[in-house]
Amino acid sequence: MAAEGVSSRSARSTTGGVVVTPTRIPGLLVVDLPVHGDNRGWFKENWQREKMLAAGLPDFGPVQNSIAYNAAAGTTRGFHAEPWDKFVSVASGRIFGAWVDLRDGPSFGEVFTIELGPDRAVFVPRGVGNSYQTLEPDTVYAYLVNDHWSPDAEYSFLNLADETAAVDWPIPLSHAVLSDKDRAHPRLADVMPVPPRKTLVLGADGQLGRALRAELGDAPHLEYASRADFDLTAPDARHWRDYGTVINAAAFTAVDAAETPEGRTDAWAANASGPAALARIAAAHGITLVHISSDYVFDGAAELYDEESPLSPLGVYGQSKAAGDLAVQTAPRHYIVRTSWVIGEGHNFVRTMASLAERGVSPRVVDDQRGRLTFTGDLARGIRHLLATDAPYGAYDLTGTGEPAAWSDVARLVFSAVGHDPVRVTPVSTAEYYADAEGPIAPRPRSSVLDLSKIEATGLVLSDWRRSLAEYLSAPAR
């Protein structure tokens, strides 16, 4: 497993001369830096964000710069796997660097080594154990990190002499300068792998939240918070650098109640102020924020809406959701997943129609609102797909596929599927349906049909909503 050089994958460079090259350890990058010298000495741009991002370095958001000085050649430190990303460069002298992947996953135990001087740096992702041996006296190296050092930070360690890693140290460890702590670190077989950054799912008690738990599972790095556990309007104080992803499946969805004075306040707090607070947290800590949006951000006047369609909400619910979308866009790493007509576990339109059919009730159902059903299992699968494939950040429409239909058509399909005459469903206009309603009624978009071409281009295969409906009704109710 010992390494001797960078990956064979092609390097990426910019006209500024910065070259970023991948290694065999995923995320560990070698950065060649232009050094300009004359009779006075030399100069380099040790960290130049614009050039380095263009060359392929991640925008990891450093917040602290530290410098280490070693007087003697052979001074050796490591292996330390730290809970932050790290950009290591040399100011004076030369060092031999060795890295071992201590992250939980298929690359655990992978090794990479290389010499570093002033013209070369290395980006070390969180959880990769790093070690440095000075090759010259009076060596100085610096490192940028994207979290502030804390005595409470949790590290993982590997013994420098581990036989599995089998690092060929230029200066044998028997002649090197080591600390007692580094001599006592465990062998690879006894190392506890570093788990991935945490994923927090908000709204875990809702239809989509339950589907996300079924899709993602219950690994230790996954956290699920219900509305009672996490106040979206006042996010709790966590060590957010431990989190890599927040999926916001929480929302105020009572569209008619949102038209009341109290409901308006609650809708704006949950759907706009809450996502804005999450966006600020995500931007500050390098978190990927996944936010669930709605077809109600459009007025429904067009036949089809895509991700670039201008927002045009009609009612308070739609207005608050649109405001939340705009706030989430301020997070550099965000996915806005826009959906419609969501069906999952618990009370929903499909279960209501099936119950009415079985109880002999013949309902009136609106026929002038058109869209496609979206089942929460498919929605959760789509969210996982975007995260797993590192799809470009931005907004994505995600519903079932197939020919759009009216709510009355859906009701008739339900009646047929549960063995009842679909003629019992009477189509009516939205105006007729709500003619005798008491209290405020929110305006509904007449068309909720979303263009799915963008998310399909990422490789996600969507399900036909009619087939999903049949499968949903054939499964035991939950």
Would you name the residues annotated as active-site residues? 80, 143
What token pair was written down for 450? Answer: 């979303």
Between CA 105 and CA 393 the distance in angstroms is 24
Burial group, residue 330, by CB count within 10 angstroms (0-12, 13-18, 19+): middle
The angle subtended at Cα 156 by Cα 32 and Cα 106, nearest 5°, is 70
Helices (H), 201-358: 207-216, 261-268, 274-285, 316-328, 349-358
Pick from 9, 10, 7, 13: which is nearest to 53 by CA? 13
Please, which residues have CB within 8 angstroms of residue 179's CB and are 6 or more apart in sequence? Answer: 77
Give burial (CB, 10 Å; 0-12/13-18/19+) of 124. Answer: buried
- Spatial CB neighbours of 280, under 8 Å, sequence gap ≥ 6: 330
Strands 29-32 vs 19-22: parallel, antiparallel or unpaired: antiparallel
CA dist., res. 276 & res. 284, Å (int): 12
- Structure-block tokens of residue 72: 């003697």
Question: In sequence order, what E strands does 74-191 have?
Answer: 76-81, 86-92, 95-101, 111-116, 120-124, 128-134, 139-145, 156-157
Give the three-state DSSP class for 48. coil
Contacts of residue 142, Cβ cutoff 8 Å, sequence gap at least 6: 46, 65, 66, 67, 68, 88, 89, 90, 91
CA distance 396 to 278: 19
Torsion of Cα atoms, 87 then 91 then 92 then 94, to 10°: 20
